Structure 1
Amino acid sequence: MTAVEDRSHPTTTGAASSVLYTYDLAPTKREGRRWGAYNVFTLWANDVHSLGNYAFAIGLFALGLNIWGILAAFVLASVLLFLLLTLSGFMGHKTGVPFPVMSRIAFGIRGAKIPAAVRGIVAIAWFGIQTYLASAVLSALLLAMFPGMAGLDGNSFLGQSTLDWITFLSLWALQLLIVSYGMQMIRRYMAFAAPTTLITMCALAVWMFVRADASISVSVDAPLTGGAMWLQILQAAALWVVIYGTFVLNFCDFTRSATSRSSIVRGNVIGIPVNMLFFAVIVVVLSGAQFTLDGHVITSPTDIVRTIPNMALLATASLALIALTIAVNLLANFVAPIYALIDLFPRRLNFRRAGVVSAVIGLAILPWNLYDSPIVVNYFLGGLGALLGPLFGVIMADYWLLRKSRVNVPDLYTEDPRGEYHYCGGFNPRAVAAFVPSAGIAVVVALVPFFHAVAGFSWFVGAVLAAVVYALIADRTAPIQDVDGESIAVAAE
């Protein structure tokens, strides 16, 4: 018998559907939850210190923000993110369901495929790109350690040399192997990678500080001042939230396994405000020290790693950056499309098979071509990213403002027309009506050059607008119940 056949699935209105209920999409049982505060912390300890985040933050120094402005931007961003992610995390802890199922509350049992698909497409593209960036670090390390491998780096096939293909496929396969063992293996990998990441980045900052004779530049030669400086601080804080627009949507994929609300709060406190300030300090030390040394602003920590004179230390630092990038990829870009694909093809895919499909798509899109194309990154991925704000606005307004966190979990898995989330043929027209115009406005703000000055606030524009519109037009006469999912829950791990 299959996992579904082994268990009964009573709901308040009808039997659970095999299209909506699978072993991987089922709510987690209380006794099956193992994510404590440390596990939540390691999630942020890995993700905050990604190479892409360092490139973004160091770019603020290049744009003219002094180190105090950078710190102010991250203080503001960390407060906003702590609030948003804690609210999102509470949703996962209470219901025990992953993001595609959580979306059914507001969008309906079939309409939920819209936010799941958008989140999944963005994640798969970035999975490929992040794997490519990690493979570039590995290729550079191998060439430094074994100069004779240069012969493998002189040709090109589909935009990659033989060496590049070897390193990319190796890291691609490693991530696929980790994911094949499920969420518990991801949790264990994060627990290993987090201290490695923090120690490595701290050591790198100390090394740079010593190289610069314990002196760092406070700013570039022509720093921003007055209103321009504060606008840049606000934009930087907003863009940092936008970077985590994916995570605030599907944080429930992880907190559905949290042991308690307090574990989410404690993990978020250390992982977001405290950890982000630690991150900001490393950024100002690295960028300020390098500017003191030669008057140039680095673009990424890899620029500094490559200057390490000792081969053993160079290898250690490079491998730590690779381990970090893999951790970020697993968290931000692998789990989300896996659940989205399971939701789209429940009878054909489970967690492992969906992981294989996601990885294959991430390879097939030749991500190095995406990364090297500003048009693709800015317009395709930027446009999709702008859609995440309105999705968040609708889902949060429905859950916290309209329902007051009361959810009928069993009805999330039934196709019975009497089900609370069946709406009109499985779609909630009011949620779609709030999402579509808000998403259109958010995309315009994000991509049209005329709005360049406020483009960084597109996520907030879309989220607030969608939340307000949905709150105004939502059906407040519909029954809103508070029924947990323990009767149909299975341990999803």
Structure 2
Amino acid sequence: MTTAQTPVRTGKEARPGASAVSADPSPRLYSPDLAPTQKAGRSWGGYSVFTLWANDVHSLGNYAFAIGLFALGMGVWDILGAFVLASVFLFALLSLSGYMGSKTGVPFPVMSRIAFGIRGAQIPAVIRGGVAIAWFGIQTYLASAVLSALAVSLAPGLASWQDTTVLGLDLLGWASFLVLWVVQVLIVSYGMDVIRKYVEVAAPAVLITFVALAIWMLTRADWSIAMDAGSPFTGVDRWLHILEAAALWVVIYGTFVLNFCDFTRSAKSNRSIIVGNLVGIPVNMLFFAGIVVVLSGAQFKLDGQVISNPADIVQAIPNTPLLALASLSLIVLTIAVNLMANFVAPVYTLVNLFPRKLDFRKAAVVSALLGLVILPWNLYNSPVVVDYFLGGLGALLGPAFGIVMADYWILRRTRVNVPHLYSEDPEATYAYRRGVNPRAVAALVPAAAVAVVIALVPAFSGIAGFSWFIGALLAAALYLLLPGRGTAPLEDIDGESIAVPSA
């Protein structure tokens, strides 16, 4: 094995009196999947980013959340207002996060090294990856339930498979789950470009399906809907509920906000991100909100009941071919959401943990196996696990986001020495103290504790919806105020100048 290298400017070499930093990327920090994407090979344009949101916004979990707002008493205009506010918040946060990926070309676990250090970066990466693995399994289970219902409607004899249960799931459920599990593993194993192509194809089908579903419901309800389910909120209380609903919607995307650079590292330019976000987030979210109020308002007018998710409406379609098409669209949608929100993050996390043993494809299989062995249907059916364990982990994402943003935008002013992200040299910019930045850890721990307490302790239920924001702002403030090693380097060296080992 020989090593060919391109010239590297480390930044440290330009400083009088500073020792030279090794130009060789460490095999414990570098692999082809973790390497910065070169600008000439980037394929994500504005449409790619738009379709990402066209799929992800319309997930079954999001519909369950939004319809729940109607069930809690929020009226149509209140729900629409909440999503307008949420789209503004998310556009700002995702544009800030996405710019980092576009400029440096590195995935989130590597980007975290700027603030947490080359070793400390495993902390936010593992938190993000752990949450994603659990939700990957749960979302696959939800899609498999739709597939099982479709299979029984097309072949009633399969209903007998539901009489036998193994490890908490019936045999038909196991078959449906494993089919979708294999499909997702195959798609991810071919890398980010295949994921992009799948998402771009799935988006139009998803949008058309939900428009058709909304029109069908309107025809059943004589082209009118209930504007609320008996709203008890007025005055200041009403506006607080709107603001909390918007904040909770941002919390749902707290995972995506954190690792958006996993996708934008493949963006052709920052303009592609801005255009894709500008069109994709407000347009898709308002379209989504419109579908929600039509589905929930029409169903409430029909029978005084509030549906729990769109799958309930789909299963009520009397025409078998239309039922099949709608069910398949829901499955295609859930796969697209899973690929983006819950598969890519743990893959990069695992590659970052074991760069010498795992590549993107192997990490995808390992991630999927973990999502299977946790028996996600048991997790989903346990409110304690979903609310406390996954809710607690999710509350940690806000503080991690606050620290990375404060470091990148305020202290570093967007200047990063990308080759140093892969260096174990003690003199490298991100070596800190044995690879861990004590300043980041000292900011993360108390901010995370506060966020988890606010999110989970009943006494704070009035502000629980704002736990992500409180944690992010507190962590950012602590990180900026705590003493620590200087983190505002003079250099700004991009990934095009990194020394890339080759055979």
Task: Judge same fold: TM > 0.5, yes or no.
Answer: yes
- Say yes or no: does 1:27 pair with 2:41: no
Secondary structure, aligned partner of 1:148? helix
Tell me which amino acid in the other structure corresponds to 2:244. Answer: Q
Please state how far the C-alpha of 1:151 moved relative to its aligned partner.
1.1
9-18 or 233-242, which moves further after superposition?
9-18
Please state how far the C-alpha of 1:479 moved relative to its aligned partner.
5.2
Is the 8 Å Cα contact of residues 55 and 299 (structure 1) preserved in structure 2? yes
Pick closer, same or farther for the CA change 1:176–1:189 going to 2, 3 Å: same
2:422 counterpart (413, 424, 431): 413
Please state how far the C-alpha of 1:228 moved relative to its aligned partner.
2.3
1:138 counterpart (147, 159, 164): 147
Q: Distance in 2 between matches of 1:474 and 1:29?
A: 36
Pick closer, same or farther for the CA change 1:478–1:400 going to 2, 3 Å: closer
What are the within-5 Å matches in structure 2 for residues 168-179 of structure 1? 168-179=177-188
- Say yes or no: does 1:87 pair with 2:84: no
Q: Distance in 2 between matches of 1:33 and 1:479?
A: 28
Q: Distance in 2 between matches of 1:395 and 1:140?
A: 44
Name the counterpart of 2:497: 487
Is the 8 Å Cα contact of residues 141 and 318 (structure 1) preserved in structure 2? yes
- Say yes or no: does 1:70 pair with 2:83: no
Please state how far the C-alpha of 1:224 moved relative to its aligned partner.
2.1
Post-superposition CA distance 1:185-235 (Å, at most 9, x none):
100100111101111011101111111101100001344222222121111
Pick closer, same or farther for the CA change 1:442–1:9 going to 2, 3 Å: farther
Pick closer, same or farther for the CA change 1:6–1:164 going to 2, 3 Å: farther
Name the counterpart of 1:294: 303
Please state how far the C-alpha of 1:457 moved relative to its aligned partner.
0.6
Name the counterpart of 1:333: 342
Q: Distance in 2 between matches of 1:150 and 1:76?
A: 45
2:25 counterpart (16, 20, 34): 16
| TM-score, normalised via structure 2 length | 0.95
Please state how far the C-alpha of 1:116 moved relative to its aligned partner.
0.5
Q: Distance in 1 between matches of 2:336 and 2:499?
A: 28
97-106 or 202-211, which moves further after superposition?
202-211
Secondary structure, aligned partner of 2:268? coil
Tell me which amino acid in the other structure corresponds to 2:494. Answer: D
Pick closer, same or farther for the CA change 1:280–1:145 going to 2, 3 Å: same
Q: Distance in 2 between matches of 1:474 and 1:27?
A: 31
Name the counterpart of 2:479: 470
Post-superposition CA distance 1:14-52 (Å, at most 9, x none):
121011110000000010101000000111000000000
Q: Distance in 2 between matches of 1:399 and 1:475?
A: 15
Is the 8 Å Cα contact of residues 40 and 268 (structure 1) preserved in structure 2? yes
Post-superposition CA distance 1:333-371 (Å, at most 9, x none):
000000000010111100000000000000000000000
What are the within-5 Å matches in structure 2 for residues 311-350 of structure 1? 311-350=320-359
Aligned length: 489
| TM-score, normalised via structure 1 length | 0.97
Secondary structure, aligned partner of 1:486? helix
1:303 counterpart (303, 312, 316): 312
Pick closer, same or farther for the CA change 1:7–1:197 going to 2, 3 Å: farther
- Say yes or no: does 1:147 pair with 2:156: yes
Name the counterpart of 2:18: none
Tell me which amino acid in the other structure corresponds to 2:228. Answer: S
- Say yes or no: does 1:262 pair with 2:271: yes
Q: Distance in 1 between matches of 2:483 and 2:311?
A: 49
Name the counterpart of 1:114: 123
Post-superposition CA distance 1:415-465 (Å, at most 9, x none):
000000000000000011011100000000011111011111100010000
Tell me which amino acid in the other structure corresponds to 1:173. Answer: V
Tell me which amino acid in the other structure corresponds to 2:407. Answer: D
2:249 counterpart (224, 236, 240): 240
Secondary structure, aligned partner of 2:165? coil
Pick closer, same or farther for the CA change 1:285–1:303 going to 2, 3 Å: same
1:189 counterpart (188, 193, 198): 198
Q: Distance in 1 between matches of 2:315 and 2:251?
A: 30
Tell me which amino acid in the other structure corresponds to 1:359. Answer: A
Is the 8 Å Cα contact of residues 95 and 277 (structure 2) preserved in structure 1? yes
Query: What value does the CA root-mean-square deviation take over the aligned residues?
Result: 1.4
Pick closer, same or farther for the CA change 1:486–1:24 going to 2, 3 Å: same
Please state how far the C-alpha of 1:411 moved relative to its aligned partner.
0.3
Q: Distance in 2 between matches of 1:488 and 1:146?
A: 57
Tell me which amino acid in the other structure corresponds to 2:148. Answer: S
Is the 8 Å Cα contact of residues 6 and 499 (structure 2) preserved in structure 1? no
Is the 8 Å Cα contact of residues 29 and 489 (structure 1) preserved in structure 2? no
Tell me which amino acid in the other structure corresponds to 2:131. Answer: V
467-476 or 257-266, which moves further after superposition?
467-476
Q: Distance in 2 between matches of 1:348 and 1:460?
A: 37
Is the 8 Å Cα contact of residues 102 and 269 (structure 2) preserved in structure 1? yes
1:394 counterpart (400, 403, 407): 403
Name the counterpart of 1:59: 68
Pick closer, same or farther for the CA change 1:478–1:360 going to 2, 3 Å: closer
Tell me which amino acid in the other structure corresponds to 1:400. Answer: W
Name the counterpart of 2:14: none
- Say yes or no: does 1:432 pair with 2:422: no
Q: Distance in 1 between matches of 2:29 and 2:441?
A: 20
Q: Distance in 2 between matches of 1:9 and 1:243?
A: 43
1:102 counterpart (90, 108, 111): 111
Using the aligned pairs only, state the percent identity. 68
Name the counterpart of 1:49: 58
Is the 8 Å Cα contact of residues 9 and 493 (structure 2) preserved in structure 1? no
